[in-house]
Amino acid sequence: MLFGGCPQLIPNCRILRGRGSARGNPPAQLAVIPAKAGIQGQGVGRVKNEQKRSIRTQRGSKMRTEICDKLGIEYPIFAFSHCRDVVAAVSRAGGLGVLGAVGFSPDELKANLKWIDAHVGDQPYAVDVVIPSKYQGKGEDMSAEELEKALSASIPQEHRDFAKKLLAEAGVPELPEGHPVQELLGWTETTAWPLVEITLGHDKVRLVANALGTPPADVVKEIQDSGRMVAALCGSVKHALAHKQAGLDIIVCQGSEGGGHTGDVGSIVVWPEVIDAADPVPVLAAGGIGTGHQMAAAMAMGAAGVWTGTIWLTTAESDWPPAQKETYLKATSRDTVRTRAWTGKPCRVLRNDWTDAWDANDTPDPLGLPLQYMVTSDAVVRGHMYASQAQSVGFSPAGQIVGSVSAVKPVRLVIQEMIEEYLDAVERLNDLMPE
């Protein structure tokens, strides 16, 4: 478990402290490990095994940081997913489920949030939107329909033809006649703002995150005025400072190992850089986190919690098709690639024939955001509907931690295992402390 701020829950304890005191802040309390009974001043590594097991089963001991208290959650484990079942299950298990809203129309988002409200109990959850700081069409005074029409007209036909050719060669069936395909997703300010307004109508949503760039000032104000927290992702100190200047409540720092849109600097380098630069804004570590051991490493660097994604793709609650889950389960940490082939921005996915084709020198160069996804949206929908035929050209966002995902497990078990692994890691560190 992650502990923080609650050593009083376990009497007669020793505390392993994080980086906070080095930056002039109250030290982060990473873990609470009971001292060996009857022996004062002895090494933490002498804790009896039965005492350790007792700690792990105590209902009173919790993984808490300040963020947990502010959001009303038990563990600082944030789980990003486009699947409502995963979101609800994570929140019920003590973490914070985060629903990725970019792929939903306003009506679809309403239905999904209503469902989560009914299945999450009294627990909070979060919603992640996408309002990029830069994209083609930004600043245009148009309705969503007008913007989509204008952007569609600017797409070269060769890009659409190339996408259709790849799907045909792979034997992926066409969609049924009349099946809708939403080309312009909610990742423009015009299309994302309605999603934010819908989100603010649900009291159990306690956090709204922005996946690409610093949210516009009016969006930040609207969310914070409603009593909710605002977060945004970043992959560099530059972007973290922009988030801090904008007054965001939480910064999510993702290293290059992470799935989806991600930067090019590794987690173990960028996490401490951003944590120091963002101080006193709390930072969640993301990118390459799938075990409690990795979570302990992030917390040791000063992170206030962890933001995870890939590990939920193959859970029992996930709505990915069986063929897609099987592809994830077979993948290794070397099977991902950062590519612009799907969205127009560098995005880590499983490498396959689709990514190789778009990244080749003699094929059309991917367009920018959001134009490239307007080209590939048909492939995304067909790949989900006909997953067994589409794995060679399917959209499979995943971080490098995918290589550690080896079985379908329920969400609650994934969280329990992370807690156990976290304790193991902290105990190993404590064993290294001099007596």
Please count the other Cβ atoms lying within 10 Å of the Cβ belonging to residue 33: 25
Answering whether pTM is above 0.75, one says yes
User: Model confidence over 152-170: pLDDT tens digits?
Assistant: 999 999 999 999 999 999 9
Nearest to 428 by CA among 30, 70, 19: 30
pLDDT band at 15 (very low <50, low <70, confident <90, very high): very low
Reported as a single tens digit per residue, the pLDDT across 179-219 is 888 888 777 778 888 999 999 999 999 999 999 889 999 99
**Contact (Cβ atoms closer than 8 angstroms) between residue 307 and residue 284:** yes
Q: Which residues pair with 14 in a beta bridge?
A: 33
Q: For the packed helices 106-119 and 84-92, what is the interaxial angle rounded to 10 degrees?
A: 30
Query: For residue 194, what are its two tokens?
Result: 């309605």
CB 428 within 8 A of CB 42: no
pLDDT tens for each residue of 209-261: 999 889 999 999 999 999 999 999 999 999 999 999 999 999 999 999 999 99
pLDDT tens for each residue of 97-123: 999 999 899 999 999 999 999 999 999
CA atoms of 384 and 272, how far apart (whole Å): 37
Other beta carbons less than 10 A from residue 181's beta carbon:
12
Contacts of 357 (CB under 8 A, 6+ apart): 162, 166, 341, 363
How many helical (H) and strand (E) elements, i.e. helices and strands, does the chain have? 16, 13
Query: Cβ-count burial of 266 within 10 angstroms (0-12 exposed, 13-18 middle, 19+ buried)?
Result: middle
Residue 139 banded pLDDT, cuts 50, 70, 90: low
The C-alpha atoms of residue 71 and residue 66 are separated, in whole angstroms, by 9
How far is it, in rounded angstroms, from Cα 38 to Cα 346? 56
Please tell me the distance from the alpha carbon of residue 416 to that of residue 435, in angstroms, as a whole number. Answer: 31
Q: How far is CA 284 from CA 100, 131, 193, 252, 334, in A?
A: 17, 20, 25, 5, 25
The neighbouring-strand residues paired with 347 are: 261, 339
User: What's the CATH code, domain 65-135+187-316+406-431?
Assistant: 3.20.20.70
Domain boundaries, the chain: 65-135+187-316+406-431, 144-172+339-401
Confidence of residue 285 (pLDDT cuts 50, 70, 90): very high
Angstrom distance (rounded) from CA 225 to CA 160: 43
